[in-house]
Structure 1
Amino acid sequence: MSLRAALLLLVLLLGGCKAAFFGAVNLRQPTDGVVSHRDIVYDAATGTALDVYAPAHARHAPVVVYFYGGSWMGGRRQWFRWMGEALAARGVVTVVVDVRLWPTVRMKGFLHDAAEAVRWTRDHAATFGGDPHDEFVMGHSSGGQIAAMLAVDKQWLAAVGMRPRELAGVIGVAGTYDFIPFDEPAFADIFGHSAAEQALSQPINFVDGDEPPALILQGEDDTIVSPAEAVAFEGRYRQQGEPVELRLYPGLGHEGLLLAFGPRRTAAPVLDDTLDFIGRHPVALEH
C-alpha cells in the first residue's frame, strides 16, 4: 500500500470515530433561536458547499466564516453544526464551510475554495441578516492556517476581487501558523518539497502590516499544535504594528479548546472572548 493510500485510510478510519463523536456534540447543542440553511453550493465548478446558521430575526449581524480542522485531509461541515449554532445563538451569522481536501487537492486548491467561500458570504450575507462589511474568518487547527492565509497572503482574496483589510478580523483557534519542519510526510505533498514552496504555506511569513485585526486563542497544554506558534504569530503582528490579541488558556489541549465553544463551555471563556473581539471590531478597515 502506498503512503498516500495508507494515510487516506487512516483519515477515513479516524473520521468515522470523529463523525460519531461530533454527532453526539451536535445533539447536545441547544438550537433555540437559530435558523439553519444547509447544503448551499457556493462554487458550482467544484460542487463545494456550506451551511449557514443565523440568529432568528437577525439584522446587520456580524458574520463569521468558519473553517474546521482535520490536517487538511479530513472533516465535514456537518460535524460542526454545533459551532455554527453556538455562535448564532449569541448573535453571529455563522457560515461553516467545506473545502476540497488532500489528496483531491493541495494547498492552492483548498485556499482557492476558502476564498470563494468568503466572497460568496460577502455577496449573500444580507440574505441571512448579516452585515457584509462585518465579516470575520475563523478556523481551528489546519482551519486556522486557512483562515490566517486568507488574512495575510493577499493573493487568495485578490483572486475573488477582495483584500484582506476588507475583513473585520481573523480568529485563530489553536491554529497552525509556523509549522516547518513538517512532522507528517503527507504535508510535503500538500505544501511542497522545497524550502521555497514550504515557506509559502506559513502564515507567519506574510504578515507585513496590512492585515485585519487578529484574535489568537491557544490552549497551553496543546500537544498537537505547539503554543509557541501562537506566540510567534502574535509577535510578528506586533512587530508590524498590527492589532492583535493573544489568549492563552491553562489546562486546555487541542480539542479541549475547541470544545470550550460548545459542550465544555465552562472550561474556558473562549466563546465570550471571541464575541468580545467581534463586538470591538464591528467594521472592516477600508484602506
Structure 2
Amino acid sequence: MKWLVIISVLLLACAGLGWWFVSQPGPKQLDIANNIMPGDSDAKLLVENQIYDQELGLGLNIWTPKGMTTEPLPVIMFIYGGGWRDGAKDHYAFTGRALASRGYIVVLPDYRLFPKTRFPGFLEDSAKALAWVHDNIGEHGGDSRRIFLSGQSAGAYNVMMLALDRQWLGREGKSPDLIRGVAALAGPYDFYPFDSETTKQSFGEFHRPEMTQPVNFVRPDAPPLWLSSGDNDTKVKPRNSKTLRDKILEAGGDAEYVEYPDIDHLEIMMAVAKPFRHKAPVLDDMVAFFERHK
C-alpha cells in the first residue's frame, strides 16, 4: 500500500510538471529543454532587466562568457520574434547562452508588442535599446565599435529596419554605421500588401505602407547582411530573404543568403538550442559571419 501511495504521488508530480511545461510559451519550452542538456556552461547572465527606457519600463538582459578577458568583446544584440505580439527576453535565454559561449557579449531587449503598440512603436523601442547598448555596453565588457544585430522572424524585421532605414537610429542621435553586421533568421522584408492577421494588426493602419518594407530602403552602404531561411518555411517565405539579398547585391552592397533544407519557420530558431543543433548549422553559420566581420 505504501508503494502505491508513493507511485501515485510521483505520477501526480509528473503530471503537474508536464502540465506546467506545456503551459509555457514555445520559446520558454525550448529554453527549458536546452537547459537539461550539457553544454554552453561557460556563459552567464551578467545583467538582468536593465531598464533602457525609463518611461515605458522596458528592460534588457546581458549575457557574457564566464571567462571574461581584459579586452572588450564584440557585442550581439538579438531581438526575438513572435509576430510583433508575442515574446519576452527571458524566454530566449538559450540564445544568450549559445552566443555568449562563443565569445560574445549578448544583449536581449524587450520591446512593446501588439496591442500596446503598432508600427513604428516596436522599431522605436529597438532603436532605443541599441542606442543604450552603444552608450553603455563598454561598462559591461563590450566593444561599442563592434556591435552586431541579430533577430528571428519579427525580430529579424526589426533589426533589418534599424540597419537599412536611417531614420530610426537617427531619432536617437545615432547612425546605422555603428552596426558591424546583421545576421537575420527567417525575416519578412517584402510583405505588402498585408494579407495576414498579424501584419494587418501591426502595420495595416499606417498611412504610408511602403515605408514599412525593408526592401524599399536598400542602399549600397548598408552593413553586411547574413540572411537565412528554411526551405519549408511557409509562414515567412524564403523569397523575402532572397529578394533582399538580390537587391542589396544589385545596389553594390554586401549580402549573403543561406537556405536550410527540411527546416521550417520555427525550426530555424530551434536549431540554435542545444537539443536541436543537429537539424541545421544555424549557430555555427551565424558565428562564422560575425567572425568574418568583427
> When the two structures are superposed, what TM-score results if normalisation uses the length of structure 2?
0.86
* CA deviation profile, 1:86-107 (whole Å, cap 9, x unmatched): 0000111110110011111111
Paired letter, 1:268: A
Preserved CA contact (<8 Å) 2:194 2:204: no
Preserved CA contact (<8 Å) 2:28 2:92: no
2:228 pairs, out of 201, 217, 236, with 217
Paired letter, 1:32: S
1:172 pairs, out of 184, 187, 193, with 184
Give the C-alpha shift of residue 20 in structure 1. Answer: 5.1
Counterpart-to-counterpart distance in 2, 1:204 and 1:15: 37
2:63 pairs, out of 14, 38, 53, with 53
Equivalent runs, 1:171-250 vs 2, <5 Å = 171-193=183-205, 197-250=208-261
* CA deviation profile, 1:65-114 (whole Å, cap 9, x unmatched): 11101000011111100000000001111101100111111112111110
Q: Mean Cα displacement is larger for which, 29-38 or 218-227?
A: 29-38
Structure 2 CA distance for partners of 1:77 and 1:31, relative to 1, 3 Å: same
Preserved CA contact (<8 Å) 2:76 2:106: yes
Counterpart-to-counterpart distance in 2, 1:189 and 1:169: 30
Equivalent runs, 1:1-287 vs 2, <5 Å = 16-18=24-26, 21-28=29-36, 30-36=39-45, 37-56=47-66, 57-58=68-69, 59-193=71-205, 197-262=208-273, 263-282=275-294
**Residue of structure 2 in register with 1:7 after alignment:** none
Q: Secondary structure at the match of 1:100?
A: coil
Q: Mean Cα displacement is larger for which, 230-239 or 121-130?
A: 121-130
Counterpart-to-counterpart distance in 1, 2:34 and 2:112: 23
Structure 2 CA distance for partners of 1:40 and 1:15, relative to 1, 3 Å: farther
Counterpart-to-counterpart distance in 1, 2:48 and 2:189: 30
**Gapped regions of structure 2 (runs ≥ 5):** 1-21
Count of matched residue pairs:
268
Give the C-alpha shift of residue 52 in structure 1. Answer: 0.5
Preserved CA contact (<8 Å) 1:88 1:94: yes
Counterpart-to-counterpart distance in 2, 1:189 and 1:141: 16
**Gapped regions of structure 1 (runs ≥ 5):** 1-13, 283-287
Give the C-alpha shift of residue 124 in structure 1. Answer: 1.8
Counterpart-to-counterpart distance in 1, 2:136 and 2:23: 31
Preserved CA contact (<8 Å) 2:79 2:152: yes
Counterpart-to-counterpart distance in 1, 2:272 and 2:248: 25
Paired letter, 1:27: N
**Identity across the alignment (%):** 34
**Residue of structure 1 in register with 2:16 after alignment:** none
Paired letter, 1:33: D
**Residue of structure 1 in register with 2:4 after alignment:** none
Give the C-alpha shift of residue 201 in structure 1. Answer: 1.2
Give the C-alpha shift of residue 128 in structure 1. Answer: 2.2
Give the C-alpha shift of residue 267 in structure 1. Answer: 1.5
